[in-house]
A and B are shown apart, each in its own frame.
Chain A
Amino acid sequence: MSEPRTPQARDDKAKGTDVVALLMRQHGDIRNLFDEVEQSKGKERRNAFHRLVRLLAVHETAEEEVVHPFVRRMVPGGEQVVKDRLAEEKAAKETLATLDKMDTDDPKFMPQLMKLRKDVQEHARAEERYEFIHIRRTTDATNLAAMAKAVKVAEAMAPTHPHPGVESLARNMALGPVAALMDRTKDAVRKAMGND
Chain B
Amino acid sequence: MTFNPLEQRGIPLDRQLRNWREMNVQPIDPDRGDPYTRCRIITMNGIEVEAILFSHQLVRNTVDPEVKRQLARTRYIEAQQQKVVNWLLPGVSSVLETTIAYEQVAVDLTAWVARMEPDPYLRQAYQFGVLEDFDHLYRYANLYEMIEHRKAESIVDNLTEVMPGRPTKFHHRDPYDNVREPYDKNEANPLSKLHALTIMSAEQQTMNFYMNTGPTYMEPIARQLYQEIGLIEEEHVTHYESLVDPGETWWEQLVNHEYNECYLYYSFMEQERDPKVKAIWELHLNMELEHLHTACDMMRRYDGREPQEVLAPELPKVLAFEPNKQYLRGLLDTQMDLTTLGAGYVREAHERFEKMQEQIHGGEEPPSERVMAEHDDMFGREYRVQSEGEHPDPAMREK
Interface residues of chain A, those whose CB is within 8 Å of chain B, are: 1, 3-4, 6-9, 12-14, 20-21, 24-29, 31-32, 35, 121-122, 125, 128, 133, 136
Closest B residue by C-beta to A133: B218
Contact across chains for A21 and B150 when beta carbons are under 8 A apart = no
Which residues from 137 to 169 on chain B have a C-beta closer than 8 Å to any C-beta of chain A? Answer: 145-151, 153-154
Could you tell me the distance in whole angstroms from the C-beta of B235 to the nearest C-beta in chain A?
Answer: 31
25 A–B pairs (Cβ distance < 8 Å), ordered by A: A1-B387, A1-B389, A6-B379, A7-B379, A12-B149, A12-B378, A13-B379, A13-B380, A14-B146, A21-B219, A24-B148, A24-B149, A25-B147, A25-B149, A26-B149, A27-B148, A27-B149, A28-B149, A28-B150, A31-B150, A121-B92, A122-B92, A125-B91, A125-B92, A128-B94
Interface size range of chain B in the complex: 20 to 34
Could you tell me the distance in whole angstroms from the C-beta of B187 to the nearest C-beta in chain A?
Answer: 45
- Contacts A1-B387, A125-B92, A125-B94; is A6 near B378 (CB within 8 Å)? no
Contact across chains for A32 and B149 when beta carbons are under 8 A apart = yes
Please measure, in the bound complex, the distance between the C-alpha atom of A9 and the C-alpha atom of B94, giving whole angstroms. Answer: 19
Q: B377 in the interface, Cβ–Cβ < 8 Å?
A: yes
Interface residues of chain B, those whose CB is within 8 Å of chain A, are: 30-31, 91-92, 94, 145-151, 153-154, 218-219, 377-381, 383-387, 389
| Chief secondary structure at chain A's binding surface | helix
Please measure, in the bound complex, the distance between the C-alpha atom of A25 and the C-alpha atom of B105, giving whole angstroms. Answer: 26
Could you tell me the distance in whole angstroms from the C-beta of A157 to the nearest C-beta in chain B?
Answer: 19
The 5 closest A-B pairs by CB, nearest first: A28-B149, A25-B149, A28-B148, A28-B150, A1-B386
Among B91, B151, B386, the most chain A Cβ lie within 10 Å of the Cβ of: B151
Q: Which of B151, B218, B379, B387 contacts A136 (CB 8 A)?
A: B218
Q: Which of A1, A3, A28, A29 contacts B383 (CB 8 A)?
A: A3
- Contacts A6-B149, A28-B150; is A13 near B377 (CB within 8 Å)? yes
Closest B residue by C-beta to A34: B31
Residues of A within 8 A of B30 (CB): 121
Q: Which of A1, A20, A25 contacts B148 (CB 8 A)?
A: A25
Please measure, in the bound complex, the distance between the C-alpha atom of A7 and the C-alpha atom of B145, giving whole angstroms. Answer: 10
Contact across chains for A24 and B151 when beta carbons are under 8 A apart = no
Please measure, in the bound complex, the distance between the C-alpha atom of A6 and the C-alpha atom of B145, giving whole angstroms. Answer: 8
Residues of A within 8 A of B154 (CB): 31, 35
Could you tell me the distance in whole angstroms from the C-beta of B152 to the nearest C-beta in chain A?
Answer: 10
Could you tell me the distance in whole angstroms from the C-beta of B367 to the nearest C-beta in chain A?
Answer: 18
Closest A residue by C-beta to B383: A3
Among B91, B150, B385, the most chain A Cβ lie within 10 Å of the Cβ of: B150
Contact across chains for B147 and A3 when beta carbons are under 8 A apart = no
Contact across chains for B153 and A12 when beta carbons are under 8 A apart = no
Contact across chains for B151 and A3 when beta carbons are under 8 A apart = yes
Could you tell me the distance in whole angstroms from the C-beta of B89 to the nearest C-beta in chain A?
Answer: 13
